[in-house]
């Protein structure tokens, strides 16, 4: 256990040690980020230019970052945790790794349903998880909702990513809120019955399988499709905005999730960390932050990128995203019982 702890902490110590000789005099923030360098560096560089605050960051997957914050405790050098999916942010709050931040700016810029009711984390971009289909074998008029993918008409035609991925856990959790546990369970069981092939390890593989003719419909986060469509405008896969019409709860809107951030409990400079979060939620940073990963801004005053506009507007499910965190464990159990691997 001790060795593992040491292994976790050592890489960071070495980063800190290297920079000691060239330690800058100005203020500095440390961000632990599960978003990769290319999605954060350009934004942080702009913030540094505007404010003179240097930002250092460590990138890793959400799980290891949370473990590291926990192992480091109050000695952690991290000021901010930046990660994707409310499931991870909720987990961090549950582990008592984040501190509440009182900010009128954040409250104004981030819709209520997209931040922690206790103000420990805030959404910074919106990702929508929706239906994608083969433009060669599916008429979009046949599609309507996540629930309708349980219909036998999709037997042997559905592709899904593994239930181990937090994206699917959050989606199923919100289906439990909308439909109740029993109905949600039946739907997920029918999804499994409709699978063309066993679940894939990534959203990209779901899209590739549809393009290759292995299946006809699937569920993915829109930015994966945006990237592939950008690389290959001829891709025979298109997006359908799920749950836009019909009777409640089918008309609740597409499942939206967030990337977001919070100030660590260990931070010794929460006001400076808050300044970065507020700046990230502002119109200028919002545009860039969302666009780098082809996501949607959380700030209602900011427009999505041109590339995303061609999909047209959509109604998002306005169930508070925190529900996806609260129901995460139950969603995992439900998927397990349904045989969704
Ligand atoms: Fe992703």
3-state secondary structure labels for all residues of the chain: CHHHHHHHHHHHHHHHHHHHCCCCCCCEEEEEECCCHHHHHHHHHHHHHHHCCEEEEEECCHHHHHHHHHHHHHHCCCCEEEEECHHHHHHHHHCCCEECCCCHHHHHHCCHHHECCCCCCEEEEEEEEEEEEECCCCCHHHCCCCHHHHCHHHCCCEECECCCCHHHHHHHHHHHHHHCHHHHHHHHHHHHHHECCCCECCHHHHHHHHHHCCCCEEEEEHHHHHHHHHHCCCCCEEEECCCCCCCCCCCCCEEEEEEEEEEECCCCCHHHHHHHHHHHCCHHHHHHHHHHCCCEECCCCCCCCHHHHCCCCCCECCCCCHHHHHCHHHHHHHHHHCCCC
| 96-124 confidence digits (pLDDT tens) | 999 999 999 999 999 999 999 999 999 99
* pLDDT value for 1: 42
Q: CA-based angle 16:36:295, to the nearest 5? A: 140
310 CA → ligand 1 middle, Å: 21
39 CA → ligand 1 middle, Å: 12
201 CA → ligand 1 middle, Å: 12
Least trusted range by pLDDT, from 62-66, 123-127, 309-313: 309-313
Sign of torsion, CA 289 73 17 24? positive
216 CA → ligand 1 middle, Å: 21
Can you tell me the distance from the alpha carbon of 275 to that of 292, in angstroms, rounded to the nearest whole number? 21
65 CA → ligand 1 middle, Å: 16
| 45-96 confidence digits (pLDDT tens) | 999 999 999 999 999 999 999 999 999 999 999 999 999 999 999 999 999 9
The ranges of the chain annotated as CATH 3.40.190.10 are 26-126+257-303, 128-255+313-337
226 CA → ligand 1 middle, Å: 12
35 CA → ligand 1 middle, Å: 9
What is the CATH T-level fold of the domain 26-126+257-303, as seen in this structure? Answer: D-Maltodextrin-Binding Protein; domain 2 (3.40.190)
332 CA → ligand 1 middle, Å: 19
Q: Which position has the token pair 């934004």?
A: 43
221 CA → ligand 1 middle, Å: 7
3 CA → ligand 1 middle, Å: 31
| 214-261 confidence digits (pLDDT tens) | 999 999 999 999 999 999 999 999 999 999 999 999 999 999 999 999
Phi, psi at 240, each rounded to 5°: -125, 125
What is the CATH T-level fold of the domain 128-255+313-337, as seen in this structure? Answer: D-Maltodextrin-Binding Protein; domain 2 (3.40.190)
* pLDDT value for 289: 92
315 CA → ligand 1 middle, Å: 21
Helix axes 222-231, 203-212, angle to 10 degrees: 50
21 CA → ligand 1 middle, Å: 37
85 CA → ligand 1 middle, Å: 9
Assess whether pLDDT exceeds 70 at residue 20: no
19 CA → ligand 1 middle, Å: 31
Cβ contacts of residue 252 below 8 Å, gap of 6+? 178, 243, 317, 318, 319
340 CA → ligand 1 middle, Å: 20
**Across 6-13, average pLDDT:** 44
């Amino acid at each position: 256990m001790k060795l593992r702890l040491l292994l976790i902490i050592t890489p960071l110590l070495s980063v800190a040690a290297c920079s000691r000789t060239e330690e800058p005099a100005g203020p500095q923030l440390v961000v632990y980020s599960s978003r990769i360098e290319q999605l954060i560096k350009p934004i942080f560089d702009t913030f540094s230019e505007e404010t003179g605050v240097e930002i250092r960051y460590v990138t890793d997957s959400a799980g290891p970052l949370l473990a590291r914050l926990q192992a480091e405790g109050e000695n952690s050098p991290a000021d901010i945790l930046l990660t994707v999916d409310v499931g991870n942010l909720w987990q961090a709050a549950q582990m008592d790794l984040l501190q509440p931040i009182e900010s009128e700016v954040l409250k104004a810029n981030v819709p209520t349903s997209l931040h922690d009711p206790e103000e420990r984390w805030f959404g910074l971009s919106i990702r929508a998880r929706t239906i994608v289909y083969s433009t060669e074998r599916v008429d979009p008029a046949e599609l309507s909702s996540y629930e309708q993918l349980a219909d036998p008409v999709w037997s042997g035609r559905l592709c899904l990513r593994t239930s181990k991925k937090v994206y699917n856990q959050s989606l199923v959790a919100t289906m439990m809120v909308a439909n109740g546990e029993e109905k949600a369970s039946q739907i997920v069981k029918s999804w499994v019955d409709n699978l063309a092939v066993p679940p894939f390890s990534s959203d990209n593989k779901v899209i590739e399988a549809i393009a290759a003719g292995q299946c006809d419909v699937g569920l993915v986060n829109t930015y994966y499709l945006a990237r592939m469509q950008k690389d290959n405008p001829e891709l025979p896969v298109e997006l359908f905005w799920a749950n836009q019409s019909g009777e409640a709860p089918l008309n609740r809107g597409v499942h939206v999730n967030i990337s977001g951030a919070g100030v660590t409990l260990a931070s010794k400079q929460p006001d400076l960390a808050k300044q970065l979060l507020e700046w990230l939620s502002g119109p200028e940073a919002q545009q860039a932050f969302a666009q780098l990963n082809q996501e949607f801004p959380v700030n209602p005053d900011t427009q999505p990128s041109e590339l995303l506009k061609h999909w047209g507007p959509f109604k998002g499910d306005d169930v508070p995203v925190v529900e996806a965190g609260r129901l995460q464990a139950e969603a995992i159990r439900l998927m397990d019982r349904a045989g969704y691997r």
